[in-house]
A = this chain, B = another copy of it.
Amino acid sequence: MRVRVQAEPFDHGAECARFGQGGRDVGAVVTFLGVVRDDSGAMERMEIEHYPGMTERAISGIVAEAMARWSLADALVIHRHGALKPGESIMMVATAARHRVAAFEAAEFLMDYLKSRAPFWKKEVGAGGADWVAAKDEDEGALVRWSDPLLKSNDV
C-alpha cells in the first residue's frame, strides 16, 4: 500500500507497469486515471489546494479500509496538488486482488471517497476569472453504496 500526495507529475504508464507485479495471488489489477478536463473551453489551469497532513492521513485511512474490506494484495493512490493544465493527469488509483469484482469495487470505493472525503479543493482558472468547483450531490450520493457492509463483494 502506497499513498503519494505531490505537486510533481507522475508517469501513469510506469506506475501501471510497476504496480501489482510479482504478487502470487493477483489475478486482477484495476487502475483509474483522472485527467483535467476543460469543459468550458476557456480554462487555463486547474489549481488544486489541499490540507497537508490531513490529506495523507485521510487517504491512508481510506486505503487501509479498502485493503481490509476487499482483501487486496496491493493498493496505490497518487494525488497531485498545485496548478495543472487541461489534459494533465490529476490522480490515479490502482488495486490488485484475486478476482475482478473485488479489484473493480475497491477502485470505485477509493474514487468515491477521494471525491468527497479527502481534503482537496479544485479551482478552475481562465481568462474570465476563477471559480471553485462545487461539490456534486451525486458524488456525495455515491458513498451510500459503501456504507452497508451487506453490500460487500462476495469476491467472485
Contacts and interface: CB of A to CB of B under 8 A. Distances in A.
Interface of A: 11-14, 16-18, 20, 22, 24-38, 87, 98, 100-101, 103-104, 107-108, 111, 136, 138-139, 142, 154, 156
A29 B95 CA distance: 14
6 contacts: A30-B32, A30-B33, A30-B107, A100-B111, A104-B107, A139-B156
A34 B67 CA distance: 19
Contacts of A18: 13
A50 to B, nearest CB: 19
A135 to B, nearest CB: 13
* Nearest 9 Cβ contacts at the A-B interface: A13-B17, A16-B16, A27-B37, A29-B33, A138-B156, A31-B31, A13-B13, A13-B16, A27-B35
A142 to B, nearest CB: 8
Given A87-B22, A98-B37, A156-B136, A104 B13 contact: no
B37 A103 contact: no
Contact of A28 (B24, B34, B87, B139): B34
A37 B26 contact: yes
A3 B111 CA distance: 27
Contacts of A24: 38, 87
